[in-house]
Amino acid sequence: MRNNSVSAWQVGILLFVLLLTNKILMLPSLLYEDAKLEVWIVLLVLFAFEMGLIVLFWRLKVKYPNQTFMSLMQAFFGKWVTKIFFVLVMLFCLGKALLLYNVTYIFFKSVIYKDANNLLYLIAFFPVVVHLAVSGLRVVGRTMQMFFPALVVTILFCIGVGLLGAGETPLAFQSTGLALTRSVFRHISAFGDSIFLFLIMDKVKIEKGKWKVVFLFSTFSLVLVGAICMVFVFSYSYTSFMHPFALFEIMSYVKEYGGLGRIDIVAIVLIIALTYFQLALYLRMFVLSFDNVFVGLRVFYSVATFVFLFVMLVTFVILNVSKTILFGEKVLPYFAVLPFALLPVVVLVLLFGRRVKEGEP
Amino acid sequence: MNVESLFENVLKTLNESLDVASRLIEKKDGKIGMIFLKSMTDNLLFSKAVFEPLSKLDSIEFEKVKQCIEPNDVELVGKDEIVEKIINGAVIVVTSKSEQFLAVDLLKFATRVPSEPPTSPVLMGPREGFVEDLKTNLTLLRRRFRSQSLVLEQASVGKITKTQVVIAYLDGVADKNVVKKIRKKLEKADIDGVVDSYYLVSFLSDRPRSILKQVGCSEKPDIVAAKMLEGRVAVIVDNSPIVLTVPFVFFEDIQNSNDYYTNYAFSTFMRVIRVFAFVMAVLGPGVYIALQLFHYNILPIKYLITIADSTQQIPFTPFIEILFISLLFQILYEVSLRLPSYLGMATSIVGALILGDTGVKAGLISPPSVIVVAIAKIALYTIPEQSAQITIAQFVFLMLGSSLGLLGVVGGAIYMITYANSLENFGAPYLAPFSPFVLSDNKDALLKVPLANMNKRPLSLNNKNVYRCNDDEK
């Protein structure tokens, strides 16, 4: 595996994809169930959490420009605490990958491939996802850089088309504070992907003054998530909870243009591309964490472990709509303790604790 | 020295080849002998410039012999070099009184006159192309660089053919590390013979088994010169009209020599068309079949009815149908390449018009499928340099589209681009200047700005001198 460095632009694009993908399909509809028209409040809170993680990473990277997160943790907390931490990260990545795959699977099954089975999806996804993940960070960064303009144009197109079908729903307060808090907790697991930055800390090479690129891309990504959510809610209003696939639904609201046929295919292609990238990044995160737990093992073992666990869980445990939603809303939120409680504490200790020298065990 | 026995030994060493010729001139004080290959030397010049003057000599003194033929390219050689010199078109002159040998370079063989290469015709701009003769090719290149910057290094590759290879680059422009790497790769090339420059491609490639093209090639001296000015290194092989250039990036093939001899806005437009054609050629049949099999509901209803009408009588599945038409096209392509041009035309008419039309009328293939394959195949030749790779990719995407629909096509595209991104040819990223994005290189990538505004050489090639003209700006 080639582990080369990535530039500020590439980090920004990686973050853009990470922060966007798993929030544009099922999340808006689920958010509406609790938060009603106050979805934007929940989103603002969750965005603040996500941006907070990126700020923490920025401060840590400025303090320790060349060190790995693992070496810093080992120096402060010892070998075993570090290993346990990275095992949790592995589980977090696996859980998020499972949720994303299941959501996409359900989407494809209900929209395109009605007769296809899980095996076909696994065959379609895994060769590409594994290839992307093992090609090295720089290669993945470059590939996403290549696709980035197309992704942005397509998303903006979807939002634009969605706006044509959006109604004039007022921003009335229909939800209670408790419901909003519950919504934040239920869906916090859709966030926290910025943990990826900590795993690639030593490979991130950002020159002075280029940090704004990273913040710009992450903010842009979250703004797009917010825009998709709001366009979706404005389009379907009180029936939003009945339409599970937000990005697709806002496109299918306006079906034909200039005799060109249904343009919801644009959303389908976008979702396919983003899912490939996101799954590859989760696998990459798993591989990086695996390397920190089982030091010195070949990449084959980490990929094989991920694929084995993934296939087993997908095949035998959670492959239908109700189980997927249950998994996403009841199980995964506890995983969010890792990026939003455990990780900030660790980073704060590293930031305000004594300075660790390079090479210090 | 016994001239006859020396010639006998040389003849034996050359396996008594029938093109070995020797001449003996007997004088009062001894003999003058000449041995050479009839097939490699200029026989007329030999008679006039060597044989006749030597016949008129009254003595066989070595110095006199040398002076007599000195207007020619004469060189003193050792006994162990005789055979090599003869093979390379020299006439060896010896006298019975001396132990020294003279090699007179009279190399001549039939060669083409530089003409417009059939692979890259231009509307405007130079029309001459490289030929099979190394000397002529070097002249064509030297004519474009009348400065001391042009460096030509010689190498020999091929254990049996001992083919002459010249590494050409511009001093102060090309990266010396690239030159060093090429030299090493050529030294390591373990091959018995190099009959064309393409034989060296796999030795110069960083990943020889990759299906992606990793070495640039051109038949035109103006293109090679332009590439060298950008910092690339050329590899010129004797007996080949194709000159190789490295480092190679994919977007080189999107560019065309016509782009530099016409309006820049039109060039940009044509490059966009080429990229569009490339995407259509690679993905066209795959996307069509994916839409037909999996996503038919997204098609406009009128078009859907047309497709349904035209395909309902077809006995084959859409995949078999498209595959059949594509294979038929490949067969026609192969036939038209191998047959003489007059027969090739006839075959194309029979294949494309009669077979296609009759196939549709007989209900074996549908008109939309014929149109899709035809468009994809025509689009393929907007970038003829990439036709081999595109053809393979077309079939791969056809299979992906028919088995997995758009999921497969998008996955395949991501896989392909990731793979291309993992290639770095002599330090240049394969998909530069788009990934990684290099702003200044985009002045001559998909967009093309006027030449006056292109003040920098491509940064993705690791040039020694980034600025084209103004060295002070470095």
Task: Please give the structure tokens belonging to residue B448.
Answer: 């093309």
* DSSP per-residue letters across B167-195: EEEETTTS-HHHHHHHHHHHHH---S--S
Answer whether residue B440 is part of any domain: no
CB-based contact A5:A209 (threshold 8 Å): no
Q: Is residue A358 part of a domain?
A: no
Percent of chain A with pLDDT over 70: 93
**Structural domain span for residue B322:** 263-422
* pLDDT value at residue A169: 65
Q: Which two tokens stand for residue A272?
A: 């396919």
Type of residue found at B324: F
Q: Do B407 and A108 touch (CB under 8 A)?
A: yes
Interface size, chain A vs chain B, as Cβ–Cβ contacts under 8 Å: 93
Residue A276 · residue A125 · CB < 8 Å: yes
For residues B130 and B116, what is the distance between their CA atoms, to the nearest angstrom? 9
Residue of B nearest to A137 (CA): B422
CA distance B420 to chain A (A): 9
Chain A residues whose C-beta sits inside 8 Å of any chain B C-beta? 2, 7, 9-10, 108, 112-113, 120-121, 123-125, 127-128, 131-132, 135-136, 139-140, 142-143, 145-147, 256, 259-262, 264-265, 268-269, 272-273, 276-277
Interface test with B, best of A4, A6, A21, A112 (most B CBs within 10 A): A112
> Any idea what the CATH number is for the domain that residue A155 is in?
1.20.1740.10
Does the distance separating the beta carbons of B411 and A128 come in below 8 Å? yes
- Give me the mean pLDDT over the A278-284 stretch: 93
pLDDT for the residue B302: 78
Residues B41 and B76 in one domain: yes
Q: Domain total for chain B?
A: 3
- Give the pLDDT confidence score for residue B289 in this predicted structure: 93
Assigned domain for A361 exists = no
pLDDT digits (tens, 9 = 90+) for B264-278: 999 999 999 999 999
The reply to whether B156 and B207 lie within a common domain is yes
Tell me, yes or no, whether B335 and B371 share the same domain.
Answer: yes
Inspect the interface and report whether the beta carbons of A276 and B294 lie closer than 8 Å: no
Is the peptide bond preceding residue A344 cis, with omega within 30 degrees of 0? no
Give CA–CA dist A45/B288, Å, rounded.
44
Query: Is A143's CB within 8 Å of B404's CB?
Result: no
Alpha helices (H) in B170-258, listed in sequence order: 176-188, 201-204, 221-229
Q: What is the 3-state secondary structure (H, E, C) of chain A?
A: CCCCCECHHHHHHHHHHHHHHHHCCCHHHHHHHHHHHHHHHHHHHHHHHHHHHHHHHHHHHHHCCCCCHHHHHHHHHCHHHHHHHHHHHHHHHHHHHHHHHHHHHHHHHHHCCCCCCHHHHHHHHHHHHHHHHHCCHHHHHHHHHHHHHHHHHHHHHHHHHHHHHCCCCCCCCCCCHHHHHHHHHHHHHHCCCCHHHHHCCCCECCCCCCHHHHHHHHHHHHHHHHHHHHHHHHHHHHHHHHCCCHHHHHHHCCCECCCCCECHHHHHHHHHHHHHHHHHHHHHHHHHHHHHHCCCCCHHHHHHHHHHHHHHHHHHCCCCHHHHHHHHHHHHHHHCHHHHHHHHHHHHHHHHCCCCCCCCC
Environment class of A198 (CB within 10 Å of its CB; exposed 0-12, middle 13-18, buried 19+): buried
User: In tens digits, what is the pLDDT along chain B, a chain of 474 residues?
Assistant: 788 899 999 999 999 899 999 999 988 888 899 999 999 898 888 998 889 988 888 888 888 888 888 767 788 888 888 999 999 889 999 998 888 899 999 888 878 888 888 878 888 888 899 999 999 999 999 999 988 899 999 999 999 999 999 999 999 899 999 999 999 999 999 999 999 999 999 999 989 899 999 999 999 999 999 999 999 999 999 999 999 999 999 999 999 888 888 899 999 999 999 999 999 999 999 999 998 888 887 777 777 888 888 888 888 888 999 999 999 888 888 888 888 877 777 777 777 777 778 888 888 888 889 999 999 999 998 998 899 999 999 999 999 999 999 999 999 999 999 999 999 889 899 998 998 888 888 888 889 998 888 888 898 887 778 888 755 444
Query: Considering only CB atoms, which chain B residues are within 8 Å of A135?
Result: 418-419, 421-422
Q: Are residues B348 and B417 in the same domain?
A: yes
Question: In this predicted structure, what is the pLDDT of residue A58?
Answer: 93
Is A227 part of a structural domain of the chain?
A: yes
Q: Which of the 8 DSSP states describes residue B26?
A: E
Specify whether B184 is located in the same domain as B274.
no
Contact A129, B418 (CB under 8 A): no
**pLDDT, tens only, B316-355:** 888 999 999 999 888 888 888 888 877 777 777 777 777 7
- pLDDT tens-digit profile of B12-30? 999 989 999 999 998 888 8
Residues B159 and B267 in one domain: no
Residue A106 pLDDT class (50, 70, 90 cuts): confident
Please report whether residue B90 resides in a domain: yes
pLDDT band at A4 (very low <50, low <70, confident <90, very high): low
CA A245/CA A158 separation, integer angstroms: 13
Cβ atoms A195, A188 nearer than 8 A: no
Residues B361-390 have pLDDT tens digits of 888 888 889 999 999 999 998 998 899 999
Whether residue A40 lies inside any domain: the answer is yes
Which among B48, B4, B49 is positioned nearest to B26, based on CA atoms?
B4
Distance CA A75, CA A356 (A): 7
Q: How confident is the model at residue A265 (pLDDT cuts 50, 70, 90)?
A: confident
Domain span at residue A343?
9-352
State whether B274 and B380 are in the same domain. yes
- State whether the Cα torsion B286-B287-B291-B294 is positive or negative: positive
- B271 and B406 in a single domain? The answer is yes
Q: What phi and psi, each to the nearest 5 degrees, are found at residue B448?
A: -135, 120
Question: What does the buried/exposed string (b/e) look like for B250-286 if buried means 16 or more CB atoms within 10 Å of the residue's CB?
Answer: bbbbbbbbbbbebebeebbebbeebeebbebbbbbbb
Q: Which of A147, A113, A106, A161 is nearest to A20 (CA)?
A: A147
Number of domains into which chain A is organized: 1
Residue B346 sits in the same domain as residue B406: yes
Q: Is residue B452 part of a domain?
A: no
Question: Is residue B269 assigned to a domain?
Answer: yes
B28 in reach of chain A (CB within 8 A): no
CB-based contact B418 A7, cutoff 8 Å: no
- Nearest-Cα distance to chain A for B173, in Å, is 27
Cis upstream peptide for B247 (omega within 30°) = yes
Q: Based on the domain organization, do B218 and B340 belong to the same domain?
A: no
B418 shares contact with chain A (CB less than 8 Å): yes
Same domain, B285 and B196: no
Gap between the Cα atoms of A319 and B335, Å rounded? 52
Residue A1 scores a pLDDT above 50 = no
> What pLDDT shows up at residue B472?
47
> How far is residue B19 from each of residues A272, B38, B39, B87, B369, measured CA to CA in Å?
68, 5, 6, 11, 58
ipTM over 0.85: yes
- Statement: residue A2 has pLDDT above 60: no
**Token pair of B376, please?**
């994809």
Q: Which amino acid is at B152?
A: L
Domain annotation covers residue A307: yes
